Structure 1
Amino acid sequence: MLRQMGLVGDDGELDLNAIMQRMQQMQASGRMWGITPADQDPDAAWRTTMTSAKQATEAQGPDPELMPHEREAVIDAERLAQSWLNEFTAFDNPGLPARTITRSQWLDGTSAGWRSIVEPIIEGLGEALQRSSTEGAPEGMDFGAMMGPLMKTSASLMYRERLKRELTKVARDTLTGTEIGFNLFQGTGVVVVPSNIAQFTENLDADDTDLMLVLLLRESARQRLFHQVGWLSPQLLALMTHYAREITIDLDAIAERLSPENLQSMSMEDIARIGEEVQVSFFRPATTDVQMEILDRLGVLLALVEGWVDHVSGRAMEKWMPHAGRISEVLRRRRAAEGPVRSVLKELIGLDLSPRLVRDAENIWAAIEHDRGIEGRDEVWSHPDMVPNARHLEDPLSFTSDGESASDDLDEELRKLLDS
């Protein structure tokens, strides 16, 4: 094929000059190997990704909206859940009305939030692929200028295709607006997806009204946390962006699988299988020590969020819904299972939130409340440097003792300052 295209010389070797000329012609035409100008426009590419995800979601089954009286019942239940929470958290109710949405509306509502999370990763992946592909280029060839934009756009297209499949699965699985641990809805209150809740309860031996109330209680607690703790969402996004900057890709390992010696003995099925493995390797790039540290910090912060929600909602249920313990356990098992909600961050960045870490986080919030009360517990969220770290999750008592030590040290320094 290369010979027919005039890219192989009479000696059987690739004619690099001919390749350069051909690629320049393709770039000038505005289309290169199936990549259109629209693919290189971030806004257009994102709209295409979300539209494809919505179409794939709609193709998998009906997604009806609730009747007006059903929506009113959800709004009333959310008000009840909010009144219960007032006793068990110092964070105020944002005062925004609850909403019931369809799966497609969930995709529309979270589109901007998803974009803020994944675009730094797409950019980091493209930059890493561009760097890796232009290293060791033949002398005298501006390989970076020739291949760089193509590699970045190719990485973006592959990642967006993967993202579309993941979002389609999550849209048909998520029960509430912030169940994945990120607040992707901006300026909104409690959000539930009734179609997914109905699907979840089909084979569940639990009262539908009780389940909805428990979900609303948990979602209301999470919304209060994100609404009151202004640094939380930006910190999560900053960690994701830092992770993206550290992406590296081992193209040597990929090239080794596709070396001419190996290709000669491969069938078309083998080549297709390796092609799939190559794409997977782009989404699971080689992790650096810095990336591992970032993922650990991100995992701890998400665990603290979920542990706080478990603790606060559990305290409210203990008083007002003592019979709902089984529902809470079902939701814990759901979170621990390899479902789409848990797997989306694992597939996109390799983050696997450990159920044990969430249990440890719940324990530490209980210990802090026991030591400092509800006001003191929620005050811990006032600054990112004040929240527990991984060491504290392993030993909750170490956090309260650290706090006492820090307070004593501060008092001593203030005393010296005043005396002088």
Structure 2
Amino acid sequence: MSGGDTSGPTPGGFGGFDFEELRKLLEQLGMSGAGDIDFSKLMEQFSRAQAAGGVGFGFTNADRDPDAAWRTTITSAKQLTQGLGPDPALTSSESHAIVDAERLAQSWLSAKTSFPETGVPPETLRREDWLDETSAGWREIVEPIMNGLAEALGRGAMAEDEPELGALTSMLAPMMKQSASLIYRDRLKKVLAEVAGSTLTGTEIGINLLPRARVTILPSNVAEFTRDLEIPEADVLLYLVLREAARIRLFHHVTWLGPQLNALLAHYAREIVIDFEAISSELDPSSLEQFSLEDIVAVGERVRGSFFKPASTETQLEILGRLELLLALIEGWVDHVTFRATEAWMPNAGSLSEVVRRRRAAGGPTKDVFSNLLGLDLRPRVVRDAENLWAAIEHERGAEGRDAVWQHPDLLPTAGHLADPLSYGKETSAEPEQDELDVELRKLLGDSGN
């Protein structure tokens, strides 16, 4: 570069930037202290930081490396689980009891569902081990959410409807995107620790995050769960193992189910909208130079309600509706098949079913995941409606006909069928009409519903 640019700030702005206009815009956004800022000096500071490699705000290289950031998140979650109480390895007799319960549960299930067992022996996991085993599965689900939040926050920082912010917002955009990821990961590690400390089986949250199709039990959590129940511990264990085995069979043999859930979550992430008014009201631009990671996390905690529950558009609400329906159909099927498998053999199966329903209504690990991370509340009534629907389908078609409904996503019941179970199957045989969301999901699934 020859000669260099020796021009400095002018009365009207820095390099053509109108600071008076910026001051007014920041005040309109509710950013406190906007009237006391020397914007010319602020822009010079940003320019120097940008020339030196970007505005860091205390971010380390590990914060910018997705792999390192994810390892840090899982490690932090594991550290939090250490304060949840004892989590010892099982004794030999306790391990044998779980193996025996799984063997019995599989024999009962085989008589009530057309989905065969996977043949993989059961496993028990301590809380930290469960986090390790599910780490890749969690990452596949939440990274699109984090990326969606980051992109939305970055787009907001660019303030397309206020082009006067140009230079400053383009400098802030990378920091805003990194901040979104940091805030979400801070919340995520806490949620993962909560789930690890409460989930009873590998797939109780309704999705399968484990790399192998096997029944998985978290004994320490089961022991805590059964402590105050007036039901024999062996019966509780058998019932939980049976529910887990049913869910594993479903996910293993319905190969489109996991990808469909992930596609819905990824599409939801792309539609995220951030409440910038809430965030901007917590940011003081006069202190940006000293803004730390702790400050960013603190902002996230103060606006968590609006930041982590952004569903508001028609498309978002439709996607969340489909997620709720699919999760309800999964849990309703598990409830129904478990009832059919235990009704002739377990006198206290009704009591155990009620315990599970109360646990679901109270929230538990499912609420931790879908409500706190996605803003989705799975209503217990919808799951009960789904169970009744599967019972009606079995009455009409038998167990094989009931399970055949899972052959393709287009065959699944709709929300309307939950309200009127007898209506399922009475429609014409014409191909179902596809809306724009169906087309988009097929693209995410590689045009394959199998």
Instruction: Find the aligned partners of 1:26 and 1:70 in 2 and give their Cα distance.
Output: 59
Given that residues 77 and 190 in structure 2 are in contact (C-alpha distance below 8 angstroms), is that contact kept between their aligned partners in structure 1?
yes
Q: Does 1:120 align with 2:126?
A: no
1:209 to 234, 252, 258: 234
- Secondary structure of 1:69's counterpart equals helix
Q: What is aligned with 1:268?
A: none
Distance 2:77 2:408 in 1: 37
- Deviation string for 1:379-407 (max 9, x for gaps)? 000000000010011100110322xx328
Q: Does the 8 A contact of 1:30 with 1:37 survive in 2?
A: no
2:117 is matched with 93
Q: What is residue 322 of structure 1 aligned with on the other side?
A: 347
The equivalent of 1:350 in structure 2 is: 375
Q: Distance in 1 between matches of 2:101 and 2:112?
A: 18
Map 1:18-417 → 2, pairs under 5 A: 18-27=41-50, 28=52, 32-135=56-159, 136=161, 139=164, 141-255=166-280, 276-402=301-427, 405-406=428-429
Q: How far apart, in 2, do the equivalents of 1:23 and 1:366 lie?
A: 64
Contact 2:120/2:214 (<8 A) preserved: yes
CA 25–38 in structure 1, closer or farther in 2 if over 3 Å, else same: farther
Aligned length: 388
RMSD: 2.6
Paired AA for residue 216 in structure 1 = V
CA contact (8 A) 1:53 1:165 kept: yes
Distance 1:43 1:407 in 2: 47
* Distance across 2 between alignment mates of 1:259 and 1:158: 17
Q: CA deviation at 1:340?
A: 3.6
Inter-CA distance 228–245: structure 2 relative to 1 (3 Å threshold): same
> 1:414: which partner in 2?
none
Are the aligned partners of 2:57 and 2:175 in contact in 1 as well (CA < 8 Å)? no
State the distance in 1 between where 2:128 and 2:68 align: 19
Contact 1:371 1:400 in 2 (8 A): no
Per the alignment, in what secondary structure is the counterpart of residue 160 of structure 1? Answer: helix
1:264 aligns with none
Native 8 Å contact 2:149 2:269 kept in 1? yes
Q: Residue deviations 1:182-214, cap 9 Å, x none?
A: 001022300000000001111111100000000
Contact 1:137–1:143 (CA<8 Å) still a contact in 2?
no
Query: Which runs of 5 or more residues in structure 1 are unaligned?
Result: 1-6, 261-271, 410-420
Q: Distance in 2 between matches of 1:255 and 1:288?
A: 21
TM-score by length of 1: 0.87
For residue 91 of structure 1, what is the amino acid of its counterpart? F
Kept in 2, the 8 Å contact 1:158–1:279? The answer is no
Say if 2:213 and 2:252, in contact at 8 Å, map to a contact too: no
| Structure 1 position 356, deviation (Å) | 0.6
From the superposition, tell whether residues 344 and 140 of structure 1 become closer, same or farther in structure 2 (CA, over 3 Å). closer
Residue 274 to residue 119, structure 1, CA distance change in 2 (3 Å): closer
Displacement of 1:363: 0.6
Output one character per residue of 1:299-347: Cα deviation in whole Å (capped at 9) or x when no partner. 0000000000000010010022133221121111101113343232101
Paired position in structure 1 for 2:292:
none
Q: How far is the alpha carbon of 1:163 from its aligned partner? A: 0.6
- Greater relative contact order: 1 or 2 (C-alpha under 8 angstroms, separation 6 or more)? 2
String of CA shifts for 1:67-115, please: whole Å, max 9, x gaps: 1221122012101100110110000101111001100011111111111
Does the CA-based 8 Å contact 2:194-2:368 persist in structure 1?
A: no
CA contact (8 A) 1:336 1:342 kept: no
Question: Structure 2 vs 1, CA of residues 24 and 182 (structure 1 numbering), >3 Å: closer, same or farther?
Answer: farther
Give the conservation status (yes or no) of the 8 Å contact 2:275–2:307.
no
Give the residue type in structure 2 aligned to 1:233: G
In the alignment, the residues of structure 1 paired with residue 93 and residue 55 of structure 2 have an alpha-carbon distance, to the nearest angstrom, of: 53
Identity percentage over the alignment?
A: 57
Distance change (3 Å), C-alpha of 1:151 and 1:140: closer
> Which structure 2 segments of 5+ residues have no match?
1-13, 24-34, 286-296, 433-450
Call closer, same or farther: CA 1:38–1:201 in 2, change over 3 Å: same
| Contact 1:30–1:36 (CA under 8 A) maintained in structure 2 | no
Query: Which structure's residues are more often helix, by fraction?
Result: 1
